[in-house]
Structure 1
Amino acid sequence: MDGKKSSGTDPARSLALLWGSHTKPGRSGLTVRAIVDAAIGIADAEGLDALSMRHVAERLGVGTMSLYTHVPGKSELTDLMVDRAYGELYDDVGAPSAQPGGWRGAMEFVAVRNWELYRRHPWMLQIITARPVLGPNVSLKYEAELRPLDGIGLTDVEMDSVLTLILTHVEGTARVQASLDQVQQDTGMSETEWWLASAPVLDKVMDPSHFPVASRVGQAAGQAHQGASDPVHALTFGLARILDGVAALIAQR
């Protein structure tokens, strides 16, 4: 997927919009909330490439210029979309901490909720957010996900690093899954169907004597996953290894 830039060129304007009231209607009866909801609906159904201020206006049945009195442009709109989507993660800031299994169970919960969010809104994976969208829901997310790591023996920087490591892993596997979904949609062939068609041909052309380890491991993985990869397996396997490492770090203290 091609990445799209996020965050407006004017941080102050973007932050004011993110933290402002989204319920007060303008002269046209529009609200920022309605505009963002329409934009998310378009991105969910048609992808981020289909999103434009004009398309949002058409969906709302208003003139395009009326949108600009509420949202300055597409960059600010995508910031609002990201923040709104993250608001779906937790009903309460204490939700991750309330999970069974201590900090480890909480981090597993965090990983699954973020994975599910990307599955609902794959367009989020197309937005480049090297600089985070510092909206209220993003801030609430950060607070909720850090709390289970507080007081377990990690420094503040380590807490941030552990959370970043987990979320980066989730994003990476979700990105692979989204790519597989797109390929299946484009080709009409599932990953299992592709593997069943490819494996016999690969067995004939790939000489195991030249690639002994790759042949053995690739065949075992392919049979296990019924495809070249399994993002769900990668998610759970990688997350377990990350949490094992965090547990080892804590134990050293």
Structure 2
Amino acid sequence: MTGVTNGDGDPRRAIELLWGVSAPPRRGPKPKLTTADVVRAAVALADAADDIEAVTIRRVAEQLGVSPMSLYTYVPGRAELLDLMIDHAHGELTAPGQDLGWRAALTAIAEDQWALFHRHPWLLQVTTSRSALGPHSFAKYERELRAVEGIGLGDVEMDAVVALVTGLVRSTARSSLDHARLVRTSGMTDAQWWQRAAPVLAEIPAADAAHYPLSSRVGTAAGEAHNAAEDPAFVFRFGLARVLDGIEVLIASRTAG
């Protein structure tokens, strides 16, 4: 699957659409649809196909029963539609409990985003170098920063902590979804694949465990623990805990004196 970069469209028009800035009234019949209808149809297409490339103006128009040209009444093009889709998905995220400490709040935020990526895998096919500058995306960032406000970090460090946590979620969720997609397309679980691969590997003397003792020991332990070659969900939660440990050490070092 090829990656898609958001933010390629007209920033003014995209931002106006994201924030619901009304265009001047037009003469003629009342539009059959709303921009929100178009966005929901596009999200449904991407979810069903498990692929952002499935979303084209033509296919969204077919889904809504209108002509492709009429869809440009609501969105200028695919680039702006992508920004709207991302912001729409971010609207599903929720705020952590108000009484949570910073560590529990960041954990809740990370778990919420992990679940979002699994509901909408196409989000991971988008290169978000430029944020969708909509209300839900702003609210997402605000909640993330609020979780680490007042704990002893500078503003730039707060931004870096948020990027570190959300980057971990994104990378491990991608591994999780890639793994699920491989199982689905191959028709084999990891255990079934290994049952076929292990006998072949055993026939090759150079691949003997004696030549790779650490790989053999650790790989066997991990395989038995996860019943698979890897467990992205375990890596996500283990990695998140270690990241939070490091932040905690940094904060403690500043208050120790």
Asked if the contact 1:53–1:73 (Cα under 8 Å) also holds between the matched residues in 2, the reply is yes
Q: Residues 108-147 of structure 1 correspond to what in structure 2 (within 5 A)?
A: 108-147=107-146
Find the aligned partners of 1:166 and 1:56 in 2 and give their Cα distance: 34
Q: Secondary structure at the match of 2:8?
A: coil
Unaligned runs of 5+ in 1: none
Find the aligned partners of 1:197 and 1:98 in 2 and give their Cα distance: 51
Asked if the contact 1:28–1:66 (Cα under 8 Å) also holds between the matched residues in 2, the reply is no
Find the aligned partners of 1:85 and 1:134 in 2 and give their Cα distance: 13
Bigger CA radius of gyration: 2
Moved over 6 A (4+): none
Please state how far the C-alpha of 1:85 moved relative to its aligned partner.
0.1
Aligned residue in 2 for 1:61:
65
Asked if the contact 2:9–2:77 (Cα under 8 Å) also holds between the matched residues in 1, the reply is no
Asked if the contact 1:194–1:227 (Cα under 8 Å) also holds between the matched residues in 2, the reply is no
Please state how far the C-alpha of 1:21 moved relative to its aligned partner.
5.0
Please state how far the C-alpha of 1:230 moved relative to its aligned partner.
0.4
**1:48 and 2:49 equivalent?**
no
After TM superposition, the score normalised by the length of structure 2 is 0.90
Amino acid at match of 2:91: G
Asked if the contact 2:7–2:130 (Cα under 8 Å) also holds between the matched residues in 1, the reply is yes
CA 1:105–1:202 in structure 2 vs 1: closer, same or farther (change >3 Å)?
farther
Q: Secondary structure at the match of 2:162?
A: helix
Q: Residues 212-251 of structure 1 correspond to what in structure 2 (within 5 A)?
A: 212-251=213-252
CA 1:183–1:74 in structure 2 vs 1: closer, same or farther (change >3 Å)?
same
After TM superposition, the score normalised by the length of structure 1 is 0.91
Identity %: 48
Q: What is the aligned length?
A: 247
Unaligned runs of 5+ in 2: none
**1:10 and 2:3 equivalent?**
no
Amino acid at match of 1:6: N
- CA deviations on 1:186-206 (whole Å, 9 max, x unpaired) are 111123332344345445532
CA 1:111–1:99 in structure 2 vs 1: closer, same or farther (change >3 Å)?
farther
Amino acid at match of 2:71: L
